[in-house]
Copies of this chain bind each other. A is one copy, B any other.
């Protein structure tokens, strides 16, 4: 019934598809439009917890939630030249309404910088209104030509959180970039998804931005996944959309913008980073069910077992723990154990004749799969403690694994070895020239993630040399096989 698929290494992709399907997260691959799927109830609940946490972080830092139109007329989308150049190959176009041809083609938004800039040109007149921080959580569309993969590379991105901010000065926008990075750090730290923060090279920044900062995590097969980006947009959009404001010194100038986004890739990462060969492992904060109670059917004491199980259920529920009592008769306890392990429920409570006779319950944690007995009358306290501990251990385990996947190397020989054997992220000295960046990509058949941010990490390259041109290194460059 249940398979055990090695999560790490080359079987990761099979593992991922397997848990998607068996844990009933997201039904993918049988809808007649490629790259589109459906969120199933269990997956949707995980998504709700993750998004609610993101909303909390944004709301408490002064971001305001809004909802913009999906349809973007061609001329609006095309106003910023770099922007449309970057997106035009992957935009879906609506050309008909009913039986009629539309006068103007309408894009399904690939992102909403152009829409918010249009509105800001109506709304924002003075520095006194600034800063303004908006966000929305919506679906966006990309006509991907590459192979699609559920939640990771899709044509309907169902879960795009895009924030858009506007400021009086360049310095304010720079500060906002830092705030955004700090919000995302807190977000990913709580989810337990480890990351590297890199400044994307100029040739890979967001179309229309001054620069792009990206969060990358590492998947179980050693490939990186971009899970968040932060863009300083400068005045690129405010100039073409005429978002002119009165400054505090009474002069008139274009405003400054940033934008930053995450998508359902966060959930793909949450699943992939924490799971094991048996299925999901969910941090309790984001688990739809935190505790499952499985009564062990023993004929003579069944009534008592069931009564105790219900009692424990009620006590946990009263304490706001998301608990489920699995009293289905048609399945064996062993089947139920596997079933809930697959779904990543962090803690299981077993109640059988032994527990009844000793006035205890057995707790089994999903991460280490160890059992322990605790007194029945202290079950709430122990469950709370265990959930806290499991959450911490899940996160710590992810951090430890992540550290083993980052390799600082000095030359191309070492670099090749890492990419072919260990897989993960390379950090290699770099002179800073674009041509050497491209050379790395070609020689190593990997993607440049960018360089560490000096404001976030100290980088010491000593007297290292760029292995491409032999010149003195200015920084490190990160490379990886990338999703």
Known: A27-B119, A66-B38. A156 touches B97 (CB 8 A): no
From residue 20 to 42 of chain A, which have CB atoms closer than 8 A to chain B? 27, 30-33, 36-41
Q: Which of B48, B100, B119 contacts A38 (CB 8 A)?
A: B119
Q: Are A73 and B32 in contact (CB under 8 A)?
A: yes
Residue A338 at the chain B interface, CB threshold 8 Å: no
In the complex formed, the residue of B with least CB distance to A100 is B143
Which residues from B are CB-within-8-Å of A459? none
- One of B64, B90, B96, B145 near A92 (C-beta < 8 A): B96
Nearest CB in chain B: distance from A342 CB, A: 18
Kindly state whether residue A240 has any CB partner on chain B within 8 Å. Answer: no
Please tell me how many copies of the chain the complex holds.
2
Q: 8 Å CB contacts to B: which residues of A83-141?
A: 88-100, 104-106, 108, 115, 118-119, 122, 134, 139
Interface residues in A, total, Cβ within 8 A: 54
Instruction: List B contacts of A69 (CB < 8 A).
Output: 31, 33, 36-38, 156
Q: Does A388 reach chain B (CB closer than 8 Å)? A: no
Which B residues lie within 8 Å of A72 (CB)? 33
A183 adjacent to chain B (CB < 8 Å): no
B95 touches A96 (CB 8 A): yes
Q: Is A68 an interface residue (CB 8 A)?
A: yes
Contact B39 A67 (CB under 8 A): yes
Is B94 a contact partner of A66 (Cβ separation < 8 A)? no
Judge whether A89 and B95 touch: CB under 8 Å. no
Tell me which of B71, B98, B156 contacts A88 (CB under 8 A).
B98
- Residue among A37, A48, A139 with most chain B CB within 10 A: A139
- Cross-interface CB contact of A108 among B40, B44, B94, B119, cutoff 8 Å: B94
Which partner residue on chain B sits nearest A67 by CB separation?
Answer: B39
A93→B96 CA distance, assembly (Å): 5
Cα of A37 to Cα of B45 in the assembled complex, Å: 29
- Residue numbers in B under 8 Å from A95 (CB-CB): 93-96
Q: A89-B98, A97-B143 are in contact. Are A38 and B68 (CB under 8 A)?
A: yes
Encode contact with B along A40-55: 1 for CB under 8 Å, 0 otherwise.
1100110110000000
Taking CB atoms and an 8 Å cut-off, the chain A residues in 179-225 that contact chain B are none
CB of A70 within 8 Å of the partner chain:
yes
Chain B residues within an 8 Å CB radius of A31: 69, 118
By a CB distance below 8 angstroms, the chain B residues around A37 are: 69
Q: Which residues of B contact A145 (CB under 8 A)?
A: 98
Closest to A119 in B: B38
Chain B residues closer than 8 Å to A156, beta-carbon distance: 69-71
Q: Is A76 an interface residue (CB 8 A)?
A: yes
Set of chain B residues within 8 Å of A98, measured between Cβ atoms: 88-91, 143, 145
Indicate if the CB atoms of B106 and A33 lie closer than 8 Å.
yes
A65 near B: Cβ within 8 Å? yes
Which 4 pairs show the lowest CB-CB distances between chains A and B? Answer: A97-B143, A41-B64, A39-B67, A36-B69
- Which residues does A use to contact B, with CB under 8 Å? 27, 30-33, 36-41, 44-45, 47-48, 64-73, 75-76, 88-100, 104-106, 108, 115, 118-119, 122, 134, 139, 143, 145, 156, 158
